[in-house]
Structure 1
């Protein structure tokens, strides 16, 4: 039987850390790096303040080249629109040796709905 997208997300969620948007806000205040894994068009519409954008589809190819992703022990808060791509990206980062990665439950949609701060500033580094 072929696996579905949801099967992959469920398997990833069984092996990663996740946090609420409230916990995510605290992590950011304590210096965690916000990593947006949505597509560039989504990122440009709005994102978490000071977030960097590395789309899920190219994550494995761009992580090593990104200047803000050189420390594999730094705290990283991963998010996407609703949580699925974020879970897959968090698992991928763990597999690549990152030790402190957490997926934000509910993604940017939950963050926005709760009224947390967001910005439309251009990405610091987005290729």
Structure 2
């Protein structure tokens, strides 16, 4: 019986991952940088310029948004450690997106490399 780790490994064999060292160039060349983590994870900190589309909604959002449904756009995905992003990249490839990549090691690798993180601040109501 397959495990989720088997599924992630299989997905990674079919997708393109960029290293954290290559990520800044990939981000500048991407039409969309998509963080597939959950909303609370995104609000705790994310890569500048990222849009948040949680993994569970990705295919629906991509298919129903006029801008996102263009299958030839450069899309770069990331999540916490790269598993959700790999599954997301594979799913988008299956939907016909031709230029999809993910960041190897995900957000954790980005932070460990000392890269900049955006941390939104909630308004102070005091």
Question: What runs of 5+ residues in structure 2 fail to find an aligned partner?
Answer: 122-126
Structure 1 runs (4+) greater than 4 angstroms displaced: none
Q: State yes or no: 1:89 paired with 2:73.
A: no
> Residue 44 of structure 2 contacts residue 120 of structure 2 at CA under 8 Å; is this kept in 1?
no
C-alpha separation between the residues in 1 aligned to 2:4 and 2:12? 12
C-alpha separation between the residues in 2 aligned to 1:32 and 1:72? 11
Q: State yes or no: 1:30 paired with 2:29.
A: yes
| 2:101 counterpart SS class | strand
Q: State yes or no: 1:109 paired with 2:117.
A: no
| 2:14 counterpart SS class | coil
| 1:59 counterpart SS class | helix
C-alpha separation between the residues in 2 aligned to 1:66 and 1:89? 17
Aligned residues: 121
Question: What runs of 5+ residues in structure 1 fail to find an aligned partner?
Answer: 123-127
The superposition leaves residues 23-72 of structure 1 with CA deviations (integer Å, 9 ceiling, x where unpaired) of: 11111123442110000100011111110111111212221223541321
C-alpha separation between the residues in 2 aligned to 1:27 and 1:43? 20
Shift in alpha-carbon separation, 1:67–1:42, aligned structure 2, 3 A: farther
Which residue in 1 is equivalent to 2:18? 19
Q: State yes or no: 1:99 paired with 2:108.
A: no
C-alpha separation between the residues in 2 aligned to 1:50 and 1:36? 10
